[in-house]
Structure 1
Amino acid sequence: MNIDNKIAIITGGASGLGQATAERILAAGGKVAIFDLDDQRGQAFADAHPGNAIYVKVNVADEASAEAGIAAVIEAFGTIHICVNCAGIGGGTRIVGRKGPHSMEAFMRILNVNLVGTFNIIRLAAAQMLKNDPVAKSGERGVIVNTASIAATEGQMGQVAYAASKAGVVGMTLPLTRDLAEHGVRVCAIMPGLFETPLVSTLPQEVRDYLVTTMEFPKRGGDPAEFAALVGHIIENPYLNGEVIRLDGGTRPPPR
């Protein structure tokens, strides 16, 4: 799908991978709606791109909030062609720790944002995409790109909730692809490794430095622009569908 003049929703778009993706889509001539909870950064981004970007405060895990966000996009731009889900949270807790068993509240919070929130936005965005006229030649009506993680298959100690949430994103990819294929909507997911994002910045520096040593090449954290470049390619390559793509510098995380 040619990004020029297309409308994209980007969750978590006020920073990190989401912001880089928004910048990539704008650079290609698209328009973006940022779904986030960071009013200051989200509105500043929208203000920097008047007419081409809007910010909507959306809690992706909340049904009513997501529905209101979609309605705001339709009001502003009329339709939705692209949905990129980057909103996510982390957390590190072993299944049984010094304070006892893993908190159910903490487990559900991560699943609700990373997995349920991703599904919540997909279902609403896809319903709008199905209203689009198919693009000439390719027959596409929309493209959905979800953010998983290499933790989906190689979760480390303390990542049981995070790994489960991202494994769910991976597991949704093929069923979503099959559900939407007849309507001309493609679905892919990206499994990023260590990227230089606000989420990763919460890790102790010694942990980040150690993870870099496990990489093959290049030995550094990923640049969000590199993630955005892959998103752009997925959108623009009509033969990419149903794929889960690693983007991690060849790393295979150790157990801890």
Structure 2
Amino acid sequence: MKIQGRTFAISGGASGLGLSLAQTLLSAGANVAILDLPPKDNPSSSSSSSSSSSFETHPALSTLPKDRHIFIPCDVTSTSAITTAVSHLQKWISSTNLPLGGIIPAAGIGLPSLILDKSLQPAPISSIDFVLSVNLRGTLDLIRQLLPLLASVTPVDEDGERGVIIMVASSAAFEGQMGQVAYAASKGAVASMTLPMARDLSRFGIRVVTIAPSMFESAMTAQLSDKVRKGLEKAMEFPVRAGKPEEFASLAKHAIENPMLNGVVIRLDGATRMPSKL
């Protein structure tokens, strides 16, 4: 599918992998709608705001072309916030006349916690709920609410393709480490729903591809200690380093453009296989 002349919606697009993909798609001629939490220094921005003036910009997006991107504050754990965001996205698409081409739910969170600690205290259910709500429920809710808009697009080629969904799993979906029960559950579920979602959407000409990165440079991995980072490097084959956001973006761009990639989970990990513990 051609990227130029289409609009792509990216949750979690104000940082890390999502931001890098936004930059890549803009460079390829697309418009990009970035759905993310409002900046912390702008409390007046609300994820459920109905005023378009409250989401014209985000500090992290200042270098993006102003006429081809829009920032819409959105908490993906809130169905009503997603509904509001979709409504504003639809209005923006109508004004630009560039139809929706892809949905990329890239918002994610870690919050490591042992399911049972050494004091025999179970992991807080609030922490588990939060991880599942962002990584799994937020992914599904954003997709389901945007799908009617994507499915109504006029097919763009002889195959009848309308668009693509790019989901983000993790190597933890396959080799979750200690403390990653909730995170691995959420990312494993994302990986598992790739094929059935592709089958559900085949009649509409919509493809589904999931990318499962290992350790990549991101806001989440920036919080890792040097000890943990060095321990992770011991599990790496080649290259022995964290992945770069632009490497993720490059694969996502190819997945959008290659019509034969569908219903598949692609590991992006440099042959890394995570050990039980560091």
Q: TM-score, normalised by structure 2?
A: 0.89
Number of aligned positions between the proteins: 256
Contact 2:11/2:18 (<8 A) preserved? yes
Shift in Å, 1:84: 0.9
| Residues 1:59 and 2:75 aligned together | yes
| Residues 1:213 and 2:237 aligned together | no
Shift in Å, 1:141: 0.7
Shift in Å, 1:40: 6.8
Q: 1:83 aligns with which of 84, 93, 103?
A: 103
Q: Structure 1 residues 154 and 70, CA, compared in 2 at 3 Å: closer, same or farther? A: same
What is the SS of the residue equivalent to 1:48?
coil
Q: 2:183 aligns with which of 162, 174, 179?
A: 162
What is the SS of the residue equivalent to 1:153?
helix
| Residues 1:238 and 2:259 aligned together | yes
What is the SS of the residue equivalent to 2:212?
strand
Shift in Å, 1:92: 1.2
Distance (whole Å) between structure 1 residues aligned to residue 64 and residue 218 of structure 2: 21
Structure 1 portions without partners, runs of 5+ = none
Q: 2:223 aligns with which of 195, 202, 206?
A: 202
Give a deviation string over 1:101-152, Cα, whole Å, max 9, x none: 1111110100000000000011012111111000122311110000000101
Distance (whole Å) between structure 1 residues aligned to residue 110 and residue 125 of structure 2: 15
More displaced 10-residue stretch of structure 1: 22-31 or 133-142: 133-142
Q: 1:43 aligns with which of 43, 58, 72?
A: 58
| Residues 1:72 and 2:88 aligned together | yes
Distance (whole Å) between structure 2 residues aligned to residue 48 and residue 172 of structure 1: 33
Contact 1:46/1:54 (<8 A) preserved? no
Distance (whole Å) between structure 2 residues aligned to residue 229 and residue 236 of structure 1: 11
Shift in Å, 1:48: 3.4
Contact 2:201/2:207 (<8 A) preserved? yes
Map residues 15-30 of structure 1 onto 2, 5 A cutoff: 15-30=15-30
Match for residue 130 of structure 1? 151
Counting aligned pairs with the same residue, the percent is 42
Q: Normalized per residue, which structure has more helix? A: 1
Give a deviation string over 1:196-223, Cα, whole Å, max 9, x none: 1110011111101211121110000000
Name the Cα RMSD after superposition.
1.4
What is the SS of the residue equivalent to 2:104?
strand
Match for residue 9 of structure 1? 9
Q: Structure 1 residues 32 and 46, CA, compared in 2 at 3 Å: closer, same or farther? A: farther
Shift in Å, 1:23: 0.4
Match for residue 183 of structure 1? 204
Shift in Å, 1:85: 1.4
Structure 2 portions without partners, runs of 5+ = 42-56
Contact 2:111/2:131 (<8 A) preserved? yes
Match for residue 251 of structure 1? 272
Distance (whole Å) between structure 2 residues aligned to residue 48 and residue 155 of structure 1: 35
Match for residue 152 of structure 1? 173
Distance (whole Å) between structure 1 residues aligned to residue 75 and residue 238 of structure 2: 36
Contact 1:177/1:186 (<8 A) preserved? yes
